[in-house]
Amino acid sequence: AQKITQTQPGMFVQEKEAVTLDCTYDTSDPSYGLFWYKQPSSGEMIFLIYQGSYDQQNATEGRYSLNFQKARKSANLVISASQLGDSAMYFCAMRDQYNQGGKLIFGQGTELSVKP
């Protein structure tokens, strides 16, 4: 069965510093997609970044990058130059590319707090 694990319930980072949010996954499927979403206190889920299992390079989107280590089954999110507005819950998610209707399986989430 597919599983996503985020082992950091909460993280603190100083403004302007970089922070890494951990995510490990487990799947027997050769093709899958990995996602990171941000959920501020308002509740909306904001898509940040996507990594396909066959992508050769790590995904990047502005200040967000995904450190994809396939052999270790990890997909850590790196946020560079943290801003106060980055304070939120962050969820890692995985999708089986071809089965299960494309549904996502979410990790437990990490609450990030950015200190001024």
Partner 1 sequence: GAVVSQHPSWVICKSGTSVKIECRSLDFQATTMFWYRQFPKQSLMLMATSNEGSKATYEQGVEKDKFLINHASLTLSTLTVTSAHPEDSSFYICSATKVRETQYFGPGTRLLVL
Summarize as ranges the residues that interact with partner 1 (CB under 8 A). 35, 37, 42-47, 50, 91, 95, 97-98, 101-104, 106-109
Tell me how long the chain is.
Answer: 116
- CB-wise, 85 or 116, nearer to partner 1? 85
Tell me how far, at minimum, the Cβ of 94 lies from partner 1, in Å: 12
Q: Specify whether the CB–CB gap between 58 and 65 falls below 8 A.
A: yes
- CB-wise, 78 or 104, nearer to partner 1? 104
- CB-wise, 47 or 54, nearer to partner 1? 47
Tell me how far, at minimum, the Cβ of 81 lies from partner 1, in Å: 22
Cβ-proximal residues to 33 (8 Å cutoff; 6+ apart), any chain: 50, 51, 52, 53, 94, 95, 97
State how far the Cα of 43 lies from the Cα of 59, in Å rounded to an integer: 25
